[in-house]
Structure 1
Amino acid sequence: MSNAERPDEPGSGDEPRGVPRRRPPREYRPAAGMLLVATSELRDPQFRRTVVYLVAHGEEGSAGLVLNRRTETAVHSVLPAWAGHVAKPQAVYSGGPVQPSGAMCLGVSRGGYYPGDGSGLVRVAGRVVLVDLDSEPAIAAATLSGVRIFAGHAGWGEGQLATEIGEGAWFVVPGRDDDILTGPMVDLYFRALRRQGFPLAWEAYRPSEMERN
């Protein structure tokens, strides 16, 4: 053959025989119930390797809660009435840098139940609900499989989240109801990426040291 690249050699523009072609990851749009998974392009240490559950998204902005930032604060020390209804670990989670002194609560309703008006619950997506912490815990939690309490939240102004996604700071992937109550032994960042399939799943194996460089 001439000096031109052989069809099966790397650099020829074609995948070698027997190797599946890479497909670009499916692109999802942000919406309530979706996850924002931080990429290595996101340099803000507050959001490094975070998984954010979007509770609201619209033209005026977006709001979400970081699901994988547990604090050392026990729920019973700040909201004792809710302590018995919180999924393990029974700790407050850091939901984000906006209004860190405020509290928000997410719950997962039992299968087949959807909240009605006046129940202290507002549906977000699927079986995930926002819980009014001023409501009676025993009544609000009666139809829930568990709740998670967050200090602060993450927020974006008009067009800000779209800009960050366009810059490659976030992967937007579907959320699952059970992501909300993920246990302490589960790496939610790894799990959320790994279940996306090739090629996005490979990001789950990126060494954390590489992200610092």
Structure 2
Amino acid sequence: MADSLAGKLLLASLRITEPTFFRTVVFVCAHDAEGALGVVINRPLKGEAVARHLPRFEPFASEPAVLFSGGPVETAAALVLGRWKPILDIPTPNLIVGRTGLLDLSRPIEELSGSLAEVRLYAGYAGWTGGQLEAELEQESWFVVDAMEDDIFSARPETLWRDVLQRQPGRLAMFAYAPNDPGVN
């Protein structure tokens, strides 16, 4: 296995046309020889307010303050990504990129509230077994790019696929302007 992709973004290439992953942006939370786990960060579920699902996180929910479809695996399960305040000497476990990491939902919110800046909630996740993601990368199904913390908490998740591609160097940026159906080009 190559280096871990934890903390990277996977952007669906134009090869992925099935609706589940069409133009998705996946934030990779964990990746090793056993497989990979990530959440789709650009699929907000309109009308599914955070307050309705995990009300204790509502005060920390970044806009749009709705539940996101994190992926097709275990859609009844919740994952929460949190960004910690830049306070020194506060333990911030499970960091993946910058001050952002997965929250332990079994911990009382009172333990987190002093150092937690914002959260994003996901129903389900995207998962790959060992070697599966690597095979998809060999087939050029995904573009792998560096994640910025602001990507995860973007107020405009619906345009994130295009926004992330536009800031990439060279040839990769041109994919941002591809039509939804390349056949009409």
TM-score higher than 0.5: yes
The aligned residue for residue 99 of structure 1 is 74
Any idea what SS the aligned residue of 1:200 has? helix
Structure 1 residues 48 and 139: CA distance shift in structure 2, 3 A: same
Q: Secondary structure at the match of 1:145?
A: strand
Could you say which residue in structure 2 is the equivalent of 1:15? none
Deviation at 1:142, TM superposition (A): 2.4
Deviating more after overlay: 188-197 vs 138-147: 138-147
Question: 5+ unaligned residues in a row in structure 2: which ranges?
Answer: none
3-state SS of paired residue (1:46): coil
CA shift at 1:208, angstroms?
A: 1.3
Instruction: Decide which moves more: 188-197 or 153-162.
Output: 188-197
C-alpha separation between the residues in 2 aligned to 1:135 and 1:212? Answer: 51
Match of 2:25 in 1: 51
Residue of structure 1 in register with 2:85 after alignment: 110
Match of 1:199, SS? helix
In 1, are the aligned partners of 2:42 and 2:157 still within 8 Å (CA)? Answer: no
Secondary structure in structure 1 of the residue aligned to 2:63: coil
State which structure, 1 or 2, has the greater radius of gyration over its C-alpha atoms.
Answer: 1
**Does 1:149 pair with 2:124?**
no
Go from structure 1 to structure 2 and tell me whether the alpha carbon gap of 1:32 and 1:170 turns closer, same or farther (over 3 Å shift): same
- 1:78-101 CA-partner distances (Å, limit 9, x unpaired): 111111111111100000001000
1:125-164 to 2 correspondences below 5 Å: 125-164=97-136
Q: TM-score by structure 1 length?
A: 0.79
**CA root-mean-square deviation:** 2.2
Matched, 1:87 2:62: yes
Change (3 A) 1:48 1:211: farther
Query: How many Å separate the matches in 2 of 1:188 and 1:211?
Result: 23
Following superposition, the deviation at residue 54 of structure 1 comes to 0.2
2:117 and 2:154 mapped to 1: Cα distance? 12
Q: Which string of whole-angstrom CA distances, capped at 9 and with x for unpartnered residues, describes residues 84-143 of structure 1?
A: 111111100000001000000001122355752xx7x42122211111223222431322
Give 1:185 shift: 6.8
TM-score relative to the length of structure 2? 0.90
Q: Give the CA deviation at 1:42.
A: 1.1
